[in-house]
Amino acid sequence: MEKLLDKFLRYVSVETTSDENSESQPSTAKQLNLLKMLRDELQAMGIEATLDEYGYVMATIPSNVDRDIPAVGFIAHVDTSPDASGADIKPQIIKNYDGGDIILNKEKDIALRVAEFPEMQQYKGQTMITTDGTTLLGADDKAGVAEIMYAAQYMMEHPDFKHGEIKIGFTPDEEIGRGVVKFDVKKFGAKYAYTMDGGEIGELEYENFNAAAAKIHIQGSNIHPGYGKDKMVNSMLIAMELNEMLPVEQRPRFTQGYEGFFHLTEINGTVEETTMNYIIRDHDRTKFEEKKALITSVAEFLNKKYGDVVKLELKHQYYNMRQEVEPHFFIVERAIKAMEMANIKPKVQPIRGGTDGANLSFMGLPCPNIFAGGHNFHGKLEFVPLESMMKASEVILNIITLFQAEG
C-alpha cells in the first residue's frame, strides 16, 4: 500500500483547481502540471502516453495475449472542485484508526465527528487520510488517478498478468462540467471504459443526473432611499423573490435517491445589480425539462412584474448515461463480479451528481462509474481510507482479468 500512498500524496500536492469562469481548455494552466507528471510517469513505466493541447493524457498498454479482446479503458480527472481551496494541501495520515473523532484543526475546532459521519466507524483499524481542516483533500479524483496508476504499474511489473489492450485516460475540468468536451473517443481507442470517480468502497453507478446550469443577472435601479418611492428597484430583493418562487422541497437539503433539485451555488448583489448561479439536476428527463421550464417561467414572470430586469442563461451540462449503458449491461455485471472477487459488497445506485462517463457514454463510449473510496468530497471534511483505494486498484485488475477470460 505504500506505493499507492506515495502516488496519492504526490498527486494531491499539486494544485489543480478548475475555474468555471475561464474559457480556456483546460480552464487553469496549473492542471497541466499534474497531467505532465502523469504522462512522464507512464512513459517511465514503459507505457506509450501522450498529452495533447487540450489537457488529455491518453496511454495504451498493449495486449499480451493472442486473442481478440475488446480494448477497455480506465479514466479519472485531475482537477479539484472550486468549492474549497485546493492549494497547499497538507494531508493527515492516521494509521490504525481507532474509530473515534478525528481532530483536523484544533485552532479552528474543525473535526470529523462520528456523530455526524457514523460511516467512519467501518474503517476502524485502517489508514485514514484526511485534510488539515483548511483545504479539501483532492481524493475526488486523485484517488482515482492513483488507483489507475498503481494498476498500470502492477501490470508493467508483472508480465505474467494476462490482459487485452488497456487504455488509460486522465482529463481536466470534470468538476466544472467540461471534462470531455474535446475528448477524442476514436483516438482513445477503447470499446468500453470505466471512470474511477465514485465515493465510498463498493459504489457502482450507471445512472446519473441530467444536469444544467443557470446564470441569472438582475438589473436594479439605485435611487437615494429617501427619494426611492416608485423609483428604486432593489435587485437583491428581486433575487430573493426569485429564489422563493422555486420549490423549497426541491433544495438539496430535502432530497435524496432519485429526487432532483435546484441548488443556489452563488449569489452576489447590491441594490444596482445581483448575479445568481444555480445548478439544476434530475434523474428523470421529463422532470429535468420541467425544472428548466419552471425557472424560465419564473424569470419571465418577474420581467413582466418589474420590466425586463432579469436575464437568464441556461446551459446544458450532461444527460443521464443510463440509456447509453443499459444496451451494454454486461460491463456493469463485470464490475459487480470484479468487486465480489475482491470480497466487496457492490452498492449499485444512481449518482447524485455526474462524471466524465456520462458525456463519454453519449459520445459512443459506454462508461459506468466505480468507487474511488473517498467521502465528503468538495470540502474540508474530505477523507479517504487507504485500504479502499487499494481495493479499487484490485477491482481494476479484476475487471481486466474478466475481459481477458470472457472477451
- Mean pLDDT calculated for residue range 24-33: 97
Backbone angles phi, psi at 313, to 5 degrees: -120, 115
Q: Given a cut of 80, is residue 407 above it in pLDDT?
A: no
Please identify every residue annotated as catalytic.
Answer: 79, 174
Do both 199 and 309 map to the same domain?
Answer: no
Instruction: Write out pLDDT tens, residues 339-394.
Output: 999 999 999 999 888 789 999 999 999 999 999 999 999 999 999 999 999 999 99
Torsion of CA 167, 173, 175, 180, to 10 degrees: -50
String of b and e for 2-33 (b: at least 16 CB within 10 Å)?
Answer: eebbebbeebbebbbbbbbeeeeebbbebbbe
Instruction: Write out pLDDT tens, residues 71-83.
Output: 999 999 999 999 9
CATH code at 84? 3.40.630.10
Instruction: Write out pLDDT tens, residues 46-80.
Output: 999 999 999 999 999 999 999 999 999 999 999 99
Domain membership of residue 225 as a residue range: 210-317
Which segments of 30-186 are extended strands (E)? 48-51, 57-61, 72-77, 92-94, 102-105, 110-112, 128-130, 166-171
Do both 298 and 401 map to the same domain?
Answer: no
Do both 35 and 132 map to the same domain?
Answer: yes
* Final residue in a domain of this structure, among 317, 346, 380: 317
Q: Directed axis angle between helix 386-406 and helix 2-12, to 10°?
A: 110
Q: Given a cut of 90, is residue 1 above it in pLDDT?
A: no
Q: Given a cut of 90, is residue 194 above it in pLDDT?
A: yes
* Final residue in a domain of this structure, among 317, 346, 366: 317
Do both 220 and 279 map to the same domain?
Answer: yes
Q: Rounded to whole angstroms, how far apart are CA atoms 243 and 133?
A: 31
Do both 69 and 127 map to the same domain?
Answer: yes
DSSP letter at 14?
Answer: S
Nearest of 67, 128, 91, 75 to residue 9 by alpha carbon: 91
What local confidence, expressed as pLDDT, does residue 159 receive?
95
What local confidence, expressed as pLDDT, does residue 354 receive?
78
What local confidence, expressed as pLDDT, does residue 23 receive?
93
What local confidence, expressed as pLDDT, does residue 192 receive?
98
Q: Given a cut of 90, is residue 235 above it in pLDDT?
A: yes
Whether residue 172 is preceded by a cis peptide bond, meaning omega within 30 degrees of 0, is no
String of b and e for 245-262 (b: at least 16 CB within 10 Å)?
Answer: ebeeebeeeebeeebbbb
What local confidence, expressed as pLDDT, does residue 351 receive?
87
Backbone angles phi, psi at 278, to 5 degrees: -125, 150
Do both 67 and 186 map to the same domain?
Answer: yes
What local confidence, expressed as pLDDT, does residue 177 receive?
84
Residue 375 near residue 117, CB atoms below 8 Å: yes
CATH code at 255? 3.30.70.360
Do both 220 and 173 map to the same domain?
Answer: no
Nearest of 89, 86, 79, 81 to residue 129 by alpha carbon: 89
Q: Given a cut of 90, is residue 32 above it in pLDDT?
A: yes
Confidence (pTM): 0.87
Q: pLDDT > 90: what percent of the chain?
A: 95
Do both 183 and 127 map to the same domain?
Answer: yes
Instruction: Write out pLDDT tens, residues 124-177.
Output: 999 999 999 999 999 999 999 999 999 999 999 999 999 999 999 999 999 998
Do both 153 and 174 map to the same domain?
Answer: yes
Nearest of 176, 3, 166, 172 to residue 71 by alpha carbon: 166
* Final residue in a domain of this structure, among 258, 289, 317: 317
What local confidence, expressed as pLDDT, does residue 59 receive?
98
Q: How many domains does the chain have?
A: 2
Do both 333 and 203 map to the same domain?
Answer: yes
Q: Given a cut of 90, is residue 285 above it in pLDDT?
A: yes
Do both 199 and 348 map to the same domain?
Answer: yes
CA distances from 135 to 4, 87, 251, 326, 388 (A): 22, 7, 25, 38, 22
Do both 134 and 271 map to the same domain?
Answer: no
The mean predicted confidence, pLDDT, of the chain is 96
